[in-house]
Amino acid sequence: MAHLHAIEDKHGDIVDAEYFCSDFCHREAVGDDYRGWNGCVEISVTQRCENEGCGEILDGVEEDAA
């Protein structure tokens, strides 16, 4: 499970996303752009927390099934 930070364009459309291991890492990494708790998000593939100081592994659900 991950915490999602949606990145929007000037029209408010989601164009990208960043994933974090915890709400703490989410808040710390995005600062004033934090828009509230958005956790318990399943991700497809394994990746690292996008908080530069963390690097925790976030397990993807597709790899869990293998």
Please state the domain extents for the chain. 3-65
pTM comes to 0.87
Rounded Cα–Cα distance for residues 1 and 44 (Å): 10
Residue 38 pLDDT exceeds 60: yes
Asked whether the predicted pLDDT for residue 63 surpasses 80, the reply is no
* DSSP string over the chain: -BEEEEEE-TTS-EEEEEEESSHHHHHHHHGGG--S----B--SS-EE-SSTTT--EE--HHHHH-
Identify whether the C-beta of residue 51 lies closer than 8 Å to the C-beta of residue 20: yes
pLDDT grade for 62, boundaries at 50, 70 and 90:
confident
